[in-house]
Structure 1
Amino acid sequence: MLRSGLISRTTYRAALLVACATMFANTALAQDTITIASWGGNYQEALSKAIWQPTAEKLGITILEDTTNGLADVRAQVSANSVLWDITELTIDGCAQGEAEGLFEDLDYSVIDKSGFDPAVVQRTYIGLNYYSNVIGWNKDKFKEGPQSWADFWDVEKFPGRRSLRNDPAEVLEAALLADGVAPDQLYPLDLDRAFKSLEKIKPHISVWWSSGAQSAQLVADGEVDLIGAWNGRISAAIKSGAPFDFTFNQGLLIADCLVIPKGVKNKDLAMKALATAVSAEMLANLPQYIDYGPANLKAYETGKITPEIAKTLNTAPENAAKQAVVRGDWWGKHGAEARERWAQFINQ
């Protein structure tokens, strides 16, 4: 039987070869092993240490780890009836859209304790994991005081320099509307015409459209951009490693990441138990020790693991959350396909 613990992506193939060489490998793989997929980079390393390694140890199972680029990967696996991941992490817009498309298994809330969660992130096929924020960051060597709003980010005369935004409409459409003067509490329903008109203004000044959190962190770490709209944990990790950057929670876009079980997994029961363990208060309370993201299970703050000093740095701290707008997964569940179709046209023009 495979040793309990978590095996990184680089040893995934080797682990499978060893397993196949043993007499009871097929049984072990079928009964005691699941594969999770997350976003890679320093974020996945943090999640591994905080949640997946302790989950594997607690349940006495093996958890293999892979990376995903998002909903399209899950859709492709489900459509091909070849599901590789037992649990997948997605942003809430992807979760809502995937649920609408029927791509996920129903979650069993007799196994999963949902009592510590905002009802908005507890749905039939997905549950929240943590909250991250798309924030405005800047190179301190370039600017003594960086942009404090998306309108400032759009102002290329006041803040000249190399810019980067996410290569995805989620969060970026909201930022474009805020830059155009829409009030944070008036964002939804998103005015797509207005958002894309705003994006046309900034598009010529975007040096890099980043496609993964790991890439955005590398852009910051390497000093390849002067201004960026990126996830706060990625920027703060680069800062801790020495990058001369800073960011603000002003007009940040607060987004939930969630966990799903793709439709057709072969190890559904074990995946359900692992998911339930991963989102427990005790497990999620570990996450801020490794990266500055707020746990979705608010009971994590009652465990004693999150000190008041750490809590103040998190995007979900009351004073930080009050400065931000919440990205609504329900809107993206209904309109995500249309928004992404328009985005593809926009980005390829």
Structure 2
Amino acid sequence: MTRSSLFAVVTAATMVAAPAFAQQSITVSSAGGAYQEAQRKALFTPTAKELGITIKEDTTTGINDVRLQVAGRAVKWDLAQLNGYECARGAKEGLFEPIDYKIVDTTGIDPRLVHPEWVAISYTSLVLIYNTKVYGENGPKTWADFWDVKKFPGRRALSHVFSPDMLSVAAMADGVQMDKVYPLDMDRALKSFAKIKNDVSAWWTSGAQATQLVKDGEVDMASIWNGRASALVADGAPVRFSYDQAVLMPGCIAIPKGAPNKALAMKALANFLKPELQADFSLLIANGPANQGAFSTGKIPPERAAQINSSPDNAKKQVLLDPTYWADNLVTATEKLNEIMQR
């Protein structure tokens, strides 16, 4: 055999063998920031190691990103995290692949949040926070208290741009019992919202803005996400909050239609939902785990469990936001809220 033919044989063999050594990868899109950093440490890195793959990351601003990729037949994400009602809406629009529940074990996850094309992965809560310098330990404890400007005078902050959680608390403020909030009586919730509108001093549009309003003492009470509230407490701010009448909002995960690595994404998703990894996640961030099995792993100390929004004791104090309801009603509710705001 000549030197040139030998080189050709070796080169060909190398080219054939190369794919066997190439590491497989998937791309996961999430919310960014501290939340995605916690996911990286607790979910992505351990899963990549266990499956022997690379997990690449991207960030998303919501369901429109998935729509564009699917419509353009240029899907680059294998898994996308969204909020619950975005997943419910996306499923209606045919934006996701079906989940193989022979591979993905959902034991420990609320059955209401296990759907053919999406499943819950974590929780955020909208809570009521108040300034203890203003009210001592006897501040507003319920949304009816928040709405009661005579009994609890003071400056208030709410957000009208997140209509699902806003109308959920408006319903409770009007006396709707937690187990009766859904299906939402939208007209009743809107009328309740209209009653408080003129007594609201500030309307926040981001978690950072809500935090700053409370921290600087610009408002005496506010609706706020639990992670932001916990951070204020940790920083020594004179505030108090609880999970009583909070709105428990699921974050979800789905495989976009046409994902390039669907089979591998399914295995990764199964790993993300394991109780052990879910427990690790909840030790790093204020968002609670979707899998209740996380609280039985022995990894979460009792004192930490008492702070986590989705722990059994805290979850039962809250209203679970219904993603399927909002998939059908979000546009209408948002339009009507905006009409009230413009009056």
Q: Secondary structure at the residue paired with 2:88?
A: helix
Q: Secondary structure at the residue paired with 1:228?
A: strand
CA positional deviation for 1:124 = 0.3
Q: 1:251 to 1:272 in 2, by over 3 A?
A: same
**Alignment equivalent of 1:229, drawn from 200, 223, 228:** 223
Give the structure 1 partner of residue 93 of structure 2.
Answer: 101
Q: 1:112 to 1:194 in 2, by over 3 A?
A: same
Q: 1:233 to 1:142 in 2, by over 3 A?
A: same
Is the Cα contact below 8 Å between 2:160 and 2:337 reproduced in 1?
no
Q: Secondary structure at the residue paired with 1:229?
A: strand
Distance 1:196 1:345 in 2: 10
Distance 1:223 1:89 in 2: 34
Q: 1:162 to 1:271 in 2, by over 3 A?
A: same
The one-letter code matched in structure 1 to 2:99 is L
Distance 2:269 2:159 in 1: 31
Q: Secondary structure at the residue paired with 1:277?
A: helix
**Alignment equivalent of 1:303, drawn from 287, 297, 301:** 297
CA positional deviation for 1:74 = 2.7
| Pairing 1:72–2:68 present | no
Q: Secondary structure at the residue paired with 1:130?
A: strand
Is the Cα contact below 8 Å between 1:71 and 1:98 reproduced in 2?
yes
Give the structure 2 partner of residue 62 of structure 1.
Answer: 54
The one-letter code matched in structure 1 to 2:30 is A
Give the structure 2 partner of residue 156 of structure 1.
Answer: 149
CA positional deviation for 1:311 = 1.8
CA positional deviation for 1:135 = 0.9
| Pairing 1:130–2:86 present | no
| Pairing 1:240–2:234 present | yes
After superposition, what is the alpha-carbon deviation per residue over 1:45-93, rounded to whole angstroms, capped at 9, x for unaligned?
Answer: 3333322233233333333333333333333433343434332222222
Give the structure 2 partner of residue 46 of structure 1.
Answer: 38
**Alignment equivalent of 1:187, drawn from 181, 196, 205:** 181
CA positional deviation for 1:172 = 1.0
Q: Secondary structure at the residue paired with 2:134?
A: coil
- TM-score normalised according to structure 2 size: 0.82
CA positional deviation for 1:231 = 2.1
Distance 2:183 2:45 in 1: 40
CA positional deviation for 1:305 = 0.8
Q: Secondary structure at the residue paired with 1:313?
A: coil
Is the Cα contact below 8 Å between 2:27 and 2:58 reproduced in 1?
no
Superposed, 1:155-304 pairs within 5 Å as 155-157=148-150, 158-165=152-159, 167-213=161-207, 215-217=209-211, 219-221=213-215, 225-304=219-298
| Pairing 1:329–2:323 present | yes
Give the structure 2 partner of residue 7 of structure 1.
Answer: none
Is the Cα contact below 8 Å between 1:153 and 1:159 reproduced in 2?
no
Give the structure 2 partner of residue 88 of structure 1.
Answer: 80
Q: 1:324 to 1:268 in 2, by over 3 A?
A: same
Bigger CA radius of gyration: 2
The one-letter code matched in structure 1 to 2:43 is I
Q: Secondary structure at the residue paired with 2:97?
A: coil
Structure 1 spans left out of the alignment, 5+ residues: 1-23
Q: 1:54 to 1:212 in 2, by over 3 A?
A: farther
The one-letter code matched in structure 1 to 2:229 is I
Give the structure 2 partner of residue 35 of structure 1.
Answer: 28
Q: 1:312 to 1:270 in 2, by over 3 A?
A: same
After superposition, what is the alpha-carbon deviation per residue over 1:192-220, rounded to whole angstroms, capped at 9, x for unaligned?
Answer: 12212222222334455444445544554
Distance 1:217 1:28 in 2: 46
Q: 1:214 to 1:161 in 2, by over 3 A?
A: closer
Distance 1:209 1:271 in 2: 39
Q: Secondary structure at the residue paired with 1:286?
A: helix
Give the structure 1 partner of residue 110 of structure 2.
Answer: 118
Give the structure 2 partner of residue 9 of structure 1.
Answer: none
Distance 2:324 2:126 in 1: 18
Is the Cα contact below 8 Å between 1:165 and 1:206 reproduced in 2?
no
The one-letter code matched in structure 1 to 2:164 is A
Q: 1:150 to 1:77 in 2, by over 3 A?
A: farther
Is the Cα contact below 8 Å between 1:42 and 1:237 reproduced in 2?
no
Distance 1:62 1:214 in 2: 32
Distance 1:98 1:33 in 2: 21
Give the structure 1 partner of residue 139 of structure 2.
Answer: 146
What is the CA RMSD across the aligned residues, in angstroms? 2.8
Aligned length: 323
The one-letter code matched in structure 2 to 1:148 is K
CA positional deviation for 1:341 = 3.9
After superposition, what is the alpha-carbon deviation per residue over 1:109-151, rounded to whole angstroms, capped at 9, x for unaligned?
Answer: 1221122222111110111112332110123333323311111
Distance 1:319 1:282 in 2: 20
Distance 2:186 2:176 in 1: 12
- TM-score normalised according to structure 1 size: 0.81
Percent identity, please: 45
